[in-house]
Amino acid sequence: MPAGAPILVRTPNWVGDAVMALPFFDALRHNFPGSPVAALARPHAADIAGLAPGVEVIVHDDRGLRAGTVGRVAAARELARRRFAAAFLLPNSFSAALVPFLARIPARVGYSKDARGLLLTHPLPWDRQARGLHRSRAYLELLARLGLDVPPDPRPRARLPDALVAEAEQLLQAAGVGPRERLAAVAPGAVGASRRWPAERFGDVARTLAERLRCRVVILGGPGDRAAAETVQRRAGPAALNLAGAARLALLPALIARCDALVSNDSGAAHVASLTDTPTLVLFGAGNETITRPLGPGIHILRVHLDCTPCESNSCARGDLACMTALDAPAVAAAVLRLVRAD
């Protein structure tokens, strides 16, 4: 590849996966220090890609008017004008490889999965070794298998611009939080039902933390988490501050960093917490923690192991969601308090 030639990275679509891809950008800049790097990201993951230092974000909305053949051809033409020398495709889907293929980017690197091998110039096998790696490490393996350097510690790291920190503080103050007021946070949302701890129990934990830590408790989440957040708020009482759907994703790292502790489902919020030093308790139901757990020294996992663990399904085949309901609120609150005191 010519020295200084621009590189494109197709980022993962989910917030948690986008966080786990941040070490890939660090490694890419290490191996190609003179090359501009651009991230092709769906709108809801673009804010995460923007946390990678020195990376330009190209928002790629491949749904709605941009869906279908016409939309993909238009997107490919835009990329072709940028004259990227290489594209690294982190999602394993066929569609993630199609637009760079149509753009005729000379080098297209990704795992050969979802019948997309012919779209890649460097199809790497999605073998047992790759499937067993933590997601962050699997992304880095795309570089390692090309003989490039990868870091031994794939912990996600990101910049927190002062402007975002100031905007997060302004949001809190507008909601009635004093500049030195102590905060804890809960994040009751998650994509799959098998990854969601009951919202009522989050409310009980929030109330306990407010009483024991003498703090306000911020409820975090996106627009889709509003119903769960309202349940938490009713259960937690006046100390709870509901910000679900009120803050854009780019502010989430700064909001979590402002808190003394976070309790979260296995969700995007838990992965964002790995970008901060905030002690975080992640409640695992479905999901394989060896592959998708948030990384970082402040992350602590709490889960109940059953004979079906890990099931990695968004719905419970047993029908009782025992992996989540076996975790009671007093035990979770006690675990969070231990983290805060240890910190």
Residues 173 and 301 in one domain: yes
Residues 127 and 27 in one domain: yes
104 vs 86: CA distance, rounded Å: 10
The reported pLDDT for the residue numbered 132 is 94
The reported pLDDT for the residue numbered 118 is 95
**pTM higher than the cut 0.85:** yes
**Crossing angle of helices 135-144 and 22-31, rounded to 10°:** 20
- Contact between residue 197 and residue 283 where contact means Cβ atoms under 8 Å apart: yes
Q: What is the pLDDT along the chain (343 residues), one digit of tens a residue?
A: 888 999 999 999 999 999 999 999 999 999 999 999 999 999 889 999 999 989 999 998 766 555 677 788 889 999 999 999 999 999 999 989 999 999 999 999 999 999 999 999 999 999 999 999 999 999 999 999 999 999 988 888 888 889 999 999 999 999 999 988 999 999 999 988 888 999 999 999 999 999 999 999 999 999 999 999 999 999 999 999 999 999 899 999 999 999 999 999 999 999 999 999 999 999 998 888 999 999 988 999 999 888 777 877 777 777 778 888 889 999 999 999 999 986 6
185 vs 209: CA distance, rounded Å: 9
Q: Is the dihedral of CA 133, 137, 140, 145 positive or negative?
A: negative
In 32-117, alpha helices (H): 43-49, 68-82, 94-102
The reported pLDDT for the residue numbered 163 is 94
The reported pLDDT for the residue numbered 152 is 87
Element (H, E) at 122: strand 122-125
The reported pLDDT for the residue numbered 62 is 67
Q: For residue 292, tell me if it sits in a domain.
A: yes
The reported pLDDT for the residue numbered 267 is 94
Retrieve residue 321's tokens: 């969601």
Residues 26 and 120 in one domain: yes
Domain encompassing residue 40: 7-144
Residues 35 and 174 in one domain: no
Residue written as token pair 């808190």: 259
- Contact between residue 7 and residue 30 where contact means Cβ atoms under 8 Å apart: no
Least Cα distance to 275 among 49, 56, 55 occurs for 49
Query: What is the greatest pairwise CA distance in the chain?
Result: 60
107 vs 84: CA distance, rounded Å: 9
Q: Is the dihedral of CA 7, 12, 18, 20 positive or negative?
A: negative
The reported pLDDT for the residue numbered 130 is 95
Element (H, E) at 241: strand 240-242
Residues 178 and 234 in one domain: yes
Residues 296 and 176 in one domain: yes
- Contact between residue 6 and residue 83 where contact means Cβ atoms under 8 Å apart: yes
Retrieve residue 162's tokens: 């002062």
The reported pLDDT for the residue numbered 309 is 78
* β-strand partners of 89: 10
Q: What is the CATH number of the domain that holds 35?
A: 3.40.50.2000
Domain finish residue from 92, 114, 144: 144
The reported pLDDT for the residue numbered 39 is 97
Q: How many domains does the chain have?
A: 2
Residues 327 and 287 in one domain: yes
Q: For residue 151, tell me if it sits in a domain.
A: no
